[in-house]
A and B are shown apart, each in its own frame.
Chain A
């Protein structure tokens, strides 16, 4: 059990950090320094152990879905809801949920972790279950190469004690199962029809997507059109309407189902599962919708070429004013090369009303070469947002933004409309 003194100190820092409107990682950092075993001791108490969710794209929404599915099946879940997916973010979230004696009132912990941090985390706390979503070109400036990122996911899988859930359609993720001897493996996947909607980085410049014979999967997404999805589970098909948007969010719902059923085992109730999935909404910044002057404003987080491509594919620009905000802070990735691996021709008809962010001119240059018309270019986010709103008063709006740009935009938007509070 963590020393009560550490907990009181940590909680005080958390309170003070909130007063100054700060992020979630600071108090976690504080506890990490004072009591390095804090996370291990606290999570070690949980009867159903720890679940780690990692991969390049879709961690936050998938985690949200897994939590909803486990809760619907009666489990009490601890999670790092803040999207602060570094170890100290977990420590910070724990501080909010434990009592003064260090007890965490939960059956299971479901944690989304950034690949590099997950590797450190699983050394201290081996997870009982892990879900590895995908490896895509993201922040190569931090991780070096995609193959290096895949190695990180492999370490998470090897540290897992019970079941590893893998994406059948990502060859680097699927490959991980060859390194597993003691763990059970469950797969999630797509029907051949849908596979063509998910070009991987490897297929990016290949015109044809191969649909070779693949191993059977626990959960398959077999159809997705409009807001209707069909899953195949244990050989039977189940259709439902969804509140999720974006084809990648919907694919990750199959991942969440496969993981939740691996955890719950025989007691899993398919009807409960489908009913729960139908009610899940996207996590913040992942197709999240705000209201502004009676018109919707959508925030779409883009972090890497595959995510940006899928975002553009998922949301039609017709009838919407579009803004793109690109920052290059450390958390966004400093290298702008990735913008050149996204095709923006789908925005040609409507054009882009506003280009913003530190690297607004890099983004504008990218659009120039796809011959997409640009309304305004402005590096200052706040000014750009004002311009965008003023120039499009009566139109639904959509903003594609990198991580730190999204944080800045949400801060500004919270002054003029209701924005979900992230603590």
Chain B
């Protein structure tokens, strides 16, 4: 039997990749293979043609300079991404691209980078760096374990839900006690570490959503996540 293909679109791997974002893509790729599907990873960079068919979108963190490089291109493809999001396509955006999937990012010196507005959030640059190990909790995914490192603080609007509640660490900002944002199947988060390897339930959510949407059903072999469980146990006990 030929394997059913699933296409993963990775946004801007050349410029937005500094916090192990490759790890998230690798986890999707391998788990799709282990579940018996045929993953195709498309590396989308500035100026590339936007692919016709996309099942999962994933994007990572960058430095301020990286955000500036990709900004115009992201605005250009924004409507296509918005259409995918409205169409229930699963997406995971970490750190820098989480911010730019919001309404805007206002830097410390008053410059405003417009976002593509898929997530109703706004981000403000600060002098305070929220940094360290973080543990959050989400009803569907249980404890989520990662590492945060950002000086932009994100505030949520009405049309978006927090992704998780913070147990240990800061999260979106130093006030609200929640982390990330969720709209339909789009997840924005500050967590790296990378986030998917130690939180396979989120990886499986993205995969299962994409596969069910495309093929109507999802059948899987069980993946052995014992090492991930041990890594989660150790990481959640480490100092901030």
- On A, residues with C-beta under 8 Å from B are 137, 140-141, 144-147, 201-202, 204-206, 328, 334-341, 358-362, 364-366, 368-371, 377, 379
B108 at the interface (CB under 8 A from A): no
B160 at the interface (CB under 8 A from A): no
Nearest-neighbor residue (CB-CB) of B197 within chain A: A365
Chain A proximity of B105: nearest CB distance (Å):
15
Interface stretch among B19-27, B48-56, B72-80, B115-123?
Answer: B19-27
**Which of A145, A146, A364, A365 neighbours the largest number of chain B CB atoms within 10 Å of its CB?**
A365
B132 at the interface (CB under 8 A from A): yes
> Known contacts A205-B17, A365-B231; is A337 also within 8 Å of B23 by CB?
yes
Question: Is A205 touching B13 in the complex (CB atoms < 8 A)?
Answer: yes
Question: Is B234 touching A359 in the complex (CB atoms < 8 A)?
Answer: yes
Question: Is B149 touching A341 in the complex (CB atoms < 8 A)?
Answer: no
A144, A202, A336: the one within 8 Å of B147 (CB): A336
Cα–Cα distance between A369 and B26 once the two chains are bound (Å): 7
Dominant SS among interface residues on chain B: mixed
Question: Is B14 touching A141 in the complex (CB atoms < 8 A)?
Answer: no
In the complex, which residues of chain A have a beta carbon less than 8 angstroms from the beta carbon of B192? 335, 337
Question: Is A140 touching B227 in the complex (CB atoms < 8 A)?
Answer: no
B13, B17, B21, B230: the one within 8 Å of A361 (CB): B230
Question: Is B227 touching A368 in the complex (CB atoms < 8 A)?
Answer: yes
Chain B proximity of A208: nearest CB distance (Å):
11
B132-166 contacts to A, CB under 8 A, are 132-133, 147, 149, 151
Cα–Cα distance between A204 and B234 once the two chains are bound (Å): 29
Question: Is B64 touching A147 in the complex (CB atoms < 8 A)?
Answer: yes
Question: Is B238 touching A140 in the complex (CB atoms < 8 A)?
Answer: no
> Known contacts A205-B17, A334-B238, A361-B230; is A141 also within 8 Å of B149 by CB?
yes
Question: Is A340 touching B197 in the complex (CB atoms < 8 A)?
Answer: yes
> Known contacts A334-B132, A340-B23, A368-B227; is A140 also within 8 Å of B18 by CB?
yes
Cα–Cα distance between A161 and B113 once the two chains are bound (Å): 40
The 23 listed contacts between A and B (C-beta, < 8 Å) are A140-B18, A140-B149, A141-B131, A141-B132, A146-B63, A205-B13, A205-B22, A334-B132, A334-B239, A336-B193, A337-B147, A340-B20, A340-B26, A340-B194, A340-B197, A358-B234, A358-B238, A359-B231, A364-B227, A365-B198, A366-B23, A368-B227, A369-B197
A137, A362, A364: the one within 8 Å of B18 (CB): A137
Given A147-B63, A334-B133, A337-B192, 18 further pairs, Cβ under 8 A: A140-B19, A147-B65, A334-B132, A335-B192, A336-B20, A340-B23, A341-B17, A341-B20, A358-B238, A362-B198, A362-B234, A364-B231, A365-B197, A365-B198, A365-B231, A366-B23, A368-B227, A370-B26
Question: Is A145 touching B23 in the complex (CB atoms < 8 A)?
Answer: no
Bitwise interface map of B from 27 to 48 toward A, beta carbon under 8 Å scored 1, else 0: 1001000000000000100000
Cα–Cα distance between A366 and B155 once the two chains are bound (Å): 33
- On B, residues with C-beta under 8 Å from A are 13-14, 17-23, 26-27, 30, 43, 63-65, 129, 131-133, 147, 149, 151, 192-194, 197-198, 227-228, 230-231, 233-235, 238-239
Cα–Cα distance between A140 and B131 once the two chains are bound (Å): 10
User: Shortest 5 CB-CB distances between A and B: which pairs?
Assistant: A340-B23, A337-B20, A340-B20, A361-B231, A361-B230
In the complex, which residues of chain B have a beta carbon less than 8 angstroms from the beta carbon of A369? 23, 26-27, 30, 197
Chain A proximity of B56: nearest CB distance (Å):
17
In the complex, which residues of chain B have a beta carbon less than 8 angstroms from the beta carbon of A201? 18
In the complex, which residues of chain A have a beta carbon less than 8 angstroms from the beta carbon of B17? 204-205, 341
In the complex, which residues of chain B have a beta carbon less than 8 angstroms from the beta carbon of A145? 18, 63-64
Question: Is B235 touching A362 in the complex (CB atoms < 8 A)?
Answer: yes
Chain B proximity of A267: nearest CB distance (Å):
43
**Which of B22, B192, B231 neighbours the largest number of chain A CB atoms within 10 Å of its CB?**
B231
